[in-house]
Structure 1
Amino acid sequence: MFRCLPLCAALLAPLAQAEEAASLVLHNARIYTVNADQPWAEALAMDEEGEILAVGSQAEVEEYADDDTEFVDLGGRLVLPGFQDSHAHVLDASSEAQGDCPLESDGTLEHWLDEIAGCAEQAKGEWLLGSGFSLHTLLDSGESPRALLDEIAPDLPIAMMEETSHSYWLNSKALQLAGFDGERDDPEGGVILRDPQGRATGVVLDNAGDLVMDKALPPSKALQQVYYQAVLDGQDELARNGITSVADARVFWRRGHLEAWQKVAREDRLKARTSLGLWAYPQLDDGEQLAQLKALYQPGDEDDLLHITQIKLYVDGIVHNTTARLRQPYQHSLAGVDPRGLYYFGPKRLARYARELAASGFDLHIHTIGDQAVRDALDAIEQAGRGRHRLTHVELVDQADIPRFRQLGVIADFQPSPYFTPSFLKDNQPLIGQRAYQMLPMRALYDSGARVTLSSDWDVNPLSPLGIMQNALGLGSRGLPNLEAAIRAYTLDAAYTLRQEQRTGSLEVGKQADLLVLDHDIFKLPPEQIGQAKVLWTLLGGEEVYRAPGF
């Protein structure tokens, strides 16, 4: 990158003919604006407040320069609007509270047990927490999950989160502390797997696992500091990946997550415009929880970087666990799971939450994986009325519901990870038969005119938007049609989702200079190489929040 300082700027540009002079001009660039009226430009000018003054040719933009304007020569590199990740778990992905005993999902049971034993020997806390194992590898072993962990540490509660975060592997002590050991009823939105004698096996699914974590992580001053540091660490990862706006998709406001975000915002240390999605707890009393959630609504001012404007609701689980809610039964379900999957929030409760929270100003961010869950969520939104509501994951959709997304103005949010490659779909065939090959109908919804966004679900998937876009273009007939569509899904349409499309999402006069510079022009790369490109520079409102070494 070449910087041209004021003396050089005076030689390159005439005195400003515009009403306001630019503080910074980016030139000698390939700028993809995501503005349909002016998709490409070679230069961009911004003022001291980070507002874009001009986008166009170098000659046009130089008219906004004066003796004090700084010029940056980008050497022909590609500039894009800042990415906007509408579904990430910034705090959880960055938090040490999630545990420090990582397991490799493709490892063997013996290897996992060795790793857990090593972690147990070094454990200093009241619980041993970790993550990464594969549920079906554990279940297919035929061993008693709880007995395996009891042999390692019978008196230390152990909770290992599965790679998808939708199940947990527990020892007897953890089951006891969670209140699951003698419990015969499943918690709301969860399942306790049991042996033929009715005894808990040590594997719990979906919200049962979240309840375990509530026990393992009660609010404390020490954890509050951990959460605060996690938010800070997450800012660096966002900026490094060119993400200038994000929605944290599940804020556990009863654990202290909200206070951590608010503290970082007060200290002006956020590096991305942030919308928080408050978690709707399935097990709480509806009246009390709705009142508490409404009281937490905080849209903030336009210039604020933190907004508390979204609610994260789960309707169902995941196909992998046979807990995604389906219209037709699974061909094979895990023992103890309803043959059609489970509900976190059934249709009646979901409709009430949607109606009351939308009326209070919240936008709904609804986890829907099974086709019945999708239909229930669309029904609830239809009753609630218009908003910037979105369904996320959207892995199975009945054909009759495809046009309803556009009709109701519902956004379809996808995370096209490697899990949706043909081998992954084949793995689901024993569970749902030929429906496995209909999963992730991204192109069908796009072609129907629905608004489609892409997001990461970090840290279930890697954070990189470039990798997600590569995946979205690599799914054949199920994928997005072209790179332009993928970029728009990560920029302007995501900005609409976050209610900021008038200020961000494209590079246009009057909008904020949220942008990034790449080391390679992804328009000139084969689609399968897009994820290899690297972010060199990230600006938020014209201010640098990330610069790659050597740039």
Structure 2
Amino acid sequence: MVADKIFYNGKFYTMAKEGETVEAIAVYNGKIAAAGTNEEVKAIGAKEFIDMKGQPILPGMADTHMHLYSDCLEQEKVTAADIHSFDELVERCKQHLDDVKEGDWLLIENLHMDFLKEGSFPTVNVLDQASTEIPICVGSFCHHVHMLNSKALELCNLGPDVVEHTPDTIDRFEDGSLTGVISDQSYSEYVEPYLPKLTMEENIEKVDKYLQYCSSVGLTQLHAYQEDNPDGIRMYQEMRKKKGLKCRVAFHFVLDENTPRNIVTGFGDDMLKLGSAKFLQDGSVGAASCLMNEPFADQPDNYGKGCYTQEELNKLVKDAYDAGHEVAVHAIGDKANDMLLTAIENAYRPELGWSRRFYMIHATVISESFIERAKKLPVIISIQPIFIRNYVSMARKRLGDERLHYCFALKDMMDAGLILTGGSDAPVCEVNPFHGIQCALTRMDLTGNPEIISKEQAISVYDAVSLYTRNAAYFLEEENLKGTLEVGKVADFVVTDKDIFETKAEEIASIKVLETVLGGDTVYQA
């Protein structure tokens, strides 16, 4: 055999074992055919030899929970991340009204309620101070809450008589009129259908550029959840034909009456495949809407909100599982996670072993009994360490000191043998995996704030990198195909300007990607 390419004189971290490196790899037909010393691998022979010049190299990284299309569009929206009052928000809206084309909306994202001096979300009366003629929609940083002005409410046909199918997701004043604050499923049902839509061609152009960006930060696999693009997975199929895919994409879907019943999780190939059936069980810590066993420390009457009763959740999970799908459920609060474990216990068929898996999305706050129960089930937990940067300012206030240990309990869960993977939940947070790795190590935000969330839950560099490489490959049963640089696996890898294993923890977010290789071919070069 003559290899297609031999990459030599590099420091390839295989991630198969902690600290294990090889100098060279041979690539044939997109996969690693040999790995070892320069001398051993170069002896094979190849059509092309590429000198890596001693640079550190990691396996290609995956984001196991992100909203690809939404984050793509987010890049063009106005940000409210730096807003600290209603007056500032109104002024920010006014500054961008002239940019809104006829028939479009003013869309603003990343408003952080805990940064606002008023301590609450702005209502329709506040947003109407900016405009009553142009529809305005402001999203929270967690993307579970959106605020509309009167024009937006009018266009969505939302009035006091609207019936919400999920309790407490459409906020009202005492007289029954709408405050304009709408969350979770009611936003998806009543607002999203009225937002401006792009054509297929426009979508392809924008998403293609976005995938190039993802390549530039070291991502070779994206798990896209609950896509709200009008063309769904077809858009990626068309893009693949016309432009190719710069990242591998798994399309995780909402199971409803429109979902084809004759194809199931895993349908597709290494570049584009159908992912898991996705459900949402609660809200977020930031919006004080995740479902908790005990009330929030700063809101003693608020236990959060659950989307489904235990019986309803049991049925949803079991029906999807029995239909042949792997199942992913968003659960952030400790009660939501306990309920999800119950639903998985109810659906799981032990005789299938790990042949069909359950994905717990977030598991941000867990109960004392969570780990022992989860260890007995074929669950993989997609956690978002980068969330820690947002929690530094609010976690203690909202959860109290006693529950902090169970917030992003990375070390406890990994020490117990649970498989954790890394994600960003983009557009909630930056998709760059090095940001998440730094947060997993320091348990701090990225701006130098000295406060630390549960320092005892910090993990090692190897474990943090594993979240995005070897562990991430367990999604969709791909551990024998991806995640480490070993013979037989795809030749996806990332060349960096600094060695992550020799970089100070608080400087990891500054690591730059010099080159990203997908299936042996360069898809990004600085």
TM-score by length of 1: 0.85
Aligned match of 2:377:
408
CA drift of 1:436 comes to: 4.2
CA contact (8 A) 1:189 1:208 kept: no
Q: How many residues align?
A: 508
- Give CA deviations for 1:399-440 in whole Å, capped at 9, x if unaligned: 1121222210211221112436643323424xx564245311
Q: Does 1:531 align with 2:509?
A: yes
Letter in 2 for 1:326: M
Secondary structure in 1 matching 2:286: helix
Question: How many angstroms apart in 1 are the aligned matches of 2:24 and 2:389?
Answer: 39
Aligned match of 2:218:
242
Match of 2:340 among 369, 377, 390: 377
Q: Does 1:276 align with 2:221?
A: no
Q: Does 1:263 align with 2:238?
A: yes
Question: How many angstroms apart in 2 are the aligned matches of 1:469 and 1:395?
Answer: 16
Match of 1:230 among 193, 206, 218: 206
Question: Relative to structure 1, is the Cα distance of residues 185 and 328 closer, same or farther in structure 2, using a 3 angstrom cutoff?
Answer: farther
Match of 1:450 among 418, 436, 447: 418
Aligned match of 1:520:
498
Aligned match of 2:433:
465
Match of 1:324 among 275, 290, 296: 290
Give 1 or 2: higher helix fraction: 1
Secondary structure in 2 matching 1:498: helix
- Give CA deviations for 1:308-331 in whole Å, capped at 9, x if unaligned: 121221110012222101112334
Aligned match of 1:389:
358
CA contact (8 A) 1:413 1:455 kept: yes
Secondary structure in 2 matching 1:165: coil
CA contact (8 A) 2:165 2:186 kept: yes
Segments of 5+ residues of structure 2 without an aligned counterpart are: 349-353, 444-453
CA drift of 1:41 comes to: 0.9
Match of 1:148 among 126, 136, 145: 126
Match of 1:362 among 320, 325, 328: 325
Secondary structure in 2 matching 1:95: helix
Question: Relative to structure 1, is the Cα distance of residues 141 and 379 closer, same or farther in structure 2, using a 3 angstrom cutoff?
Answer: closer
Q: Does 1:305 align with 2:271?
A: yes
Question: How many angstroms apart in 1 are the aligned matches of 2:76 and 2:17?
Answer: 46
CA drift of 1:139 comes to: 8.2
CA contact (8 A) 1:187 1:208 kept: yes
CA drift of 1:374 comes to: 0.3
Match of 1:59 among 19, 39, 43: 39
CA drift of 1:140 comes to: 1.9
Question: How many angstroms apart in 2 are the aligned matches of 1:333 and 1:259?
Answer: 44
- Give CA deviations for 1:201-240 in whole Å, capped at 9, x if unaligned: 222222233234323237x6x4434433332122102211
Letter in 2 for 1:443: K
Letter in 2 for 1:294: R
Aligned match of 2:451:
none
Letter in 1 for 2:38: Q
Q: Which has the higher contact order (CA 8 A, sep 6+)?
A: 2
Q: Does 1:424 align with 2:387?
A: no
Question: How many angstroms apart in 1 are the aligned matches of 2:22 and 2:163?
Answer: 62
CA drift of 1:44 comes to: 1.1
CA drift of 1:77 comes to: 1.0
Question: How many angstroms apart in 1 are the aligned matches of 2:493 and 2:249?
Answer: 16
Question: How many angstroms apart in 2 are the aligned matches of 1:38 and 1:104?
Answer: 38
Secondary structure in 1 matching 2:252: strand
Letter in 1 for 2:442: G
CA drift of 1:111 comes to: 2.3
CA drift of 1:291 comes to: 6.5
Letter in 1 for 2:208: L
Moved over 4 A (4+): 136-139, 141-144, 331-334
Q: Does 1:130 align with 2:108?
A: yes
CA drift of 1:395 comes to: 1.4
CA drift of 1:268 comes to: 5.5
Letter in 1 for 2:340: A
CA drift of 1:299 comes to: 3.2
Question: Relative to structure 1, is the Cα distance of residues 189 and 505 closer, same or farther in structure 2, using a 3 angstrom cutoff?
Answer: farther
Question: How many angstroms apart in 2 are the aligned matches of 1:143 and 1:411?
Answer: 34
- Give CA deviations for 1:491-511 in whole Å, capped at 9, x if unaligned: 111111132221111111111
Question: How many angstroms apart in 1 are the aligned matches of 2:250 and 2:305?
Answer: 28
Question: How many angstroms apart in 1 are the aligned matches of 2:502 and 2:104?
Answer: 53
Question: Relative to structure 1, is the Cα distance of residues 189 and 27 closer, same or farther in structure 2, using a 3 angstrom cutoff?
Answer: farther
Aligned match of 2:24:
43
Letter in 2 for 1:59: E
CA contact (8 A) 2:68 2:227 kept: no
Question: Relative to structure 1, is the Cα distance of residues 143 and 31 closer, same or farther in structure 2, using a 3 angstrom cutoff?
Answer: closer
CA contact (8 A) 1:205 1:321 kept: no
1:333-352 counterparts in 2 under 5 A?
333=299, 339-352=302-315
TM-score by length of 2: 0.89
Question: How many angstroms apart in 1 are the aligned matches of 2:466 and 2:321?
Answer: 26
Q: Does 1:203 align with 2:184?
A: no
Question: Relative to structure 1, is the Cα distance of residues 79 and 325 closer, same or farther in structure 2, using a 3 angstrom cutoff?
Answer: same
CA drift of 1:99 comes to: 6.4
Aligned match of 2:449:
none
Question: How many angstroms apart in 2 are the aligned matches of 1:378 and 1:223?
Answer: 40
CA contact (8 A) 2:83 2:89 kept: no
Match of 1:113 among 81, 87, 90: 90
Secondary structure in 1 matching 2:411: helix
CA contact (8 A) 1:103 1:131 kept: yes
Secondary structure in 1 matching 2:44: coil
Q: Which has the larger radius of gyration?
A: 1
Letter in 2 for 1:356: D
Residue identity (%): 26
Question: Relative to structure 1, is the Cα distance of residues 158 and 291 closer, same or farther in structure 2, using a 3 angstrom cutoff?
Answer: closer
Question: Relative to structure 1, is the Cα distance of residues 158 and 187 closer, same or farther in structure 2, using a 3 angstrom cutoff?
Answer: farther
- Give CA deviations for 1:132-181 in whole Å, capped at 9, x if unaligned: 32335568278972122223322332211122211111112222333432
Question: Relative to structure 1, is the Cα distance of residues 404 and 143 closer, same or farther in structure 2, using a 3 angstrom cutoff?
Answer: closer
Letter in 2 for 1:410: V
Letter in 2 for 1:101: V
Question: Relative to structure 1, is the Cα distance of residues 330 and 477 closer, same or farther in structure 2, using a 3 angstrom cutoff?
Answer: closer
CA drift of 1:519 comes to: 0.9
